[in-house]
Structure 1
Amino acid sequence: MNRFRTALAATAAALGIAALTAAPSQAAPQPAFLAPGQMPAAATPWAATPVAAGLPEPGVLCAGNFPAQNTRNRSFYTELDTNGVQVTTVARSEADAAALVSSLRTALAGCAARLQQEYPGLVASSAYHGKLGVEEGAWVYSLDTADPEIGNTDVHLFAVGRDGRTVTYVRWGQMGDLKDAPLTAFRTTAATAVNKLY
């Protein structure tokens, strides 16, 4: 401690007050992610990758231009082709986060139409399944696709939600149709994802 700081400490002690010291800076807490067991129940247990920085490979289905900065992701999978992903980003402000949610909702609602333009012959339909009353809100969507040439069908459930400056996107998917999808359980997963961020 140099002479100035020694004198400052002595003066503070003489005045009966605590010496002022700079508190070590602490990084803001990172948003938490879903655990495998918080995905909708499946025929075989869920597993998950570690949380990773940036966007997942091969991208964020139906989410348009999801920002890569201040973003992390985690993938989920089972032994029977059921899979999912959570992508979470921290925006610069609550206004930016709200704008991102609006952009993601538009992208999810219009996903089927974009896919049919990109892949002629693909049959696809998107649907909106309502808002969840959690933090600043979460919104649930689905995507049904069928490829007549190959003969396969796939269904995906999506949610996008916000807690302050933080936005999270959750996707669940498997072979089948919307009638085969665990929509009620996915709503619980989506609410958990937003509640668990902080």
Structure 2
Amino acid sequence: MRRGRRPAGAAVMGAVAVATAVLGATPAGAVSVPSAAAQMPGFLEPSDMPPDPFSAWYGSSGPSDGPYSPLCAETVPLPQDNIWNATYSTPETAAGSQVSVVLLTEAEAIAFGAQVEAAVAGCEARMEQDQPNRPVTFWDHGQLNVEEGAHVYGIGFQGGWSYQNQLVSVGRDGNTVTVVSWESNWGNPPVDAFKATTVTAVNKLY
């Protein structure tokens, strides 16, 4: 479903309320993680990314431990432990990433996932506030039926070189949340292929 400059929907606002209620017991900005080191979840291979019309994908880093802010989620406080990231790219046209966080409980994972989704839903407004003369278009590409679920979003705007397309998804399996991103300024966004990538990412967690 495509939409232009429109406030986040009731579903996202409800998720924010859940996140506030669940995380309210922790200090501001804090995210609880297991006291012992968690096992690193499974990650995408470069070949799992949406096919690129110009070249193959390769893994440019990771997976490695440590915070890494996904696209449109820069406002979300990230833990220092039990978080892993990997980045992917093609030689010229596209880039992507996956960030996975293991939380203490499933309830906290639900809340953390809601925080990320709310940040992504607010990305359009933040970008337009930063650059009022640059129109931004936001798409809600819907839910995916995989494990505890995943949600796919799209952002489009005029970048420094040409029109920039971004895709971001948030998925969960138990107490683990994963965020996958894709971006390129060549051609139309591969929404269906990115949905398949998201399903693969969530299924590979465990």
TM range, smaller chain: 0.7 to 0.9
Equivalent in 187, 190, 195 of residue 182 of structure 1: 190
Alignment of 1:155-174 (within 5 A): 155-174=165-184
Contact in 1 for aligned 2:76/2:119 (Cα 8 Å): no
Equivalent in 21, 32, 49 of residue 39 of structure 1: 49
Provide the residue aligned with 2:32 in structure 1. Answer: none
Contact in 2 for aligned 1:110/1:126 (Cα 8 Å): no
**In structure 1, C-alpha distance between the alignment counterparts of 2:186 and 2:105, rounded to whole Å:** 39
**In structure 2, C-alpha distance between the alignment counterparts of 1:161 and 1:28, rounded to whole Å:** 18
Counterpart residue type for residue 55 of structure 2:
T
Provide the residue aligned with 2:28 in structure 1. Answer: none
Structure 1 stretch displaced more, 62-71 or 76-85: 62-71
Which of 1 and 2 has higher RCO (CA within 8 Å, sep 6+)? 2
Number of positions where the alignment pairs a residue of Structure 1 with one of Structure 2: 167
Provide the residue aligned with 1:142 in structure 2. Answer: 154
Structure 1 stretch displaced more, 78-87 or 102-111: 102-111
Provide the residue aligned with 2:110 in structure 1. Answer: 98
Provide the residue aligned with 1:67 in structure 2. Answer: 78
**In structure 2, C-alpha distance between the alignment counterparts of 1:129 and 1:183, rounded to whole Å:** 8
Structure 1 residue 197, shift from structure 2 partner: 0.2
Counterpart residue type for residue 192 of structure 2:
T
Structure 1 stretch displaced more, 104-113 or 131-140: 104-113
Contact in 1 for aligned 2:106/2:175 (Cα 8 Å): yes
Counterpart secondary structure, 2:126? helix
Counterpart secondary structure, 2:112? helix
Contact in 1 for aligned 2:46/2:88 (Cα 8 Å): yes
Specify every segment of 5 or more residues in structure 1 that has no aligned partner in the other structure, as ranges. 1-25
Equivalent in 85, 88, 94 of residue 100 of structure 2: 88
- Cα 1:151–1:86 shift into 2, 3 Å: closer
- Using the aligned pairs only, state the percent identity: 39
Provide the residue aligned with 1:53 in structure 2. Answer: 65
**In structure 2, C-alpha distance between the alignment counterparts of 1:79 and 1:151, rounded to whole Å:** 16
Query: For residues 40-72 of structure 1, what are the alpha-carbon distances to aligned partners after superposition, in whole Å with 9 as ceiling and x for unaligned?
Result: 00120101122121123xx32211314133211
Normalized against structure 2, the TM-score is what? Answer: 0.76
**In structure 1, C-alpha distance between the alignment counterparts of 2:103 and 2:38, rounded to whole Å:** 13
Query: For residues 118-151 of structure 1, what are the alpha-carbon distances to aligned partners after superposition, in whole Å with 9 as ceiling and x for unaligned?
Result: 223222111111111001000000000115xx56
Larger-Rg structure = 1
Provide the residue aligned with 1:152 in structure 2. Answer: 162
Equivalent in 120, 134, 140 of residue 128 of structure 1: 140
Counterpart secondary structure, 2:62? coil
Provide the residue aligned with 1:17 in structure 2. Answer: none
Provide the residue aligned with 1:113 in structure 2. Answer: 125
Specify every segment of 5 or more residues in structure 2 that has no aligned partner in the other structure, as ranges. 1-35
